[in-house]
Amino acid sequence: MRQYVVVACSAVVALAVNIVIDLSTDMPMLLRWAVAIGVAMVVTVVLSRWTAARTQGASAAPGESPESLR
């Protein structure tokens, strides 16, 4: 389920970045989408790492630190 949330958030970020760049500059469409996709990829990596850390932290036993599982 969390993968769908990460992908949906990344798609929304890509669209939003593209719209903001479109309204604020006269950048060509291909370059706008390249920047938007780059930003969305960064968001995907950050959200993926964050959800993985939360999942790993949730799987730790009570009183055990998540770092000891690595």
Write the pLDDT tens digit of every residue in 12-60.
Answer: 999 999 999 999 999 999 999 999 999 999 999 999 999 888 888 776 6
Q: Quote the longest CA-to-CA distance of the chain.
A: 55
Please name which of 60, 44, 41 lies closest in space to residue 6, comparing C-alpha atoms: 44
Which tens digit of pLDDT belongs to each residue from 2-12? 788 889 999 99
Q: Is 14 helix (H, G, I), strand (E, B) or coil?
A: helix
Please name which of 42, 16, 21, 43 lies closest in space to residue 32, comparing C-alpha atoms: 21
The model's pTM: 0.74
Q: How confident is the model at residue 62 (pLDDT cuts 50, 70, 90)?
A: low
Cβ contact 6:47 at 8 Å? yes
Sequence ranges of the domains in the chain: 2-57
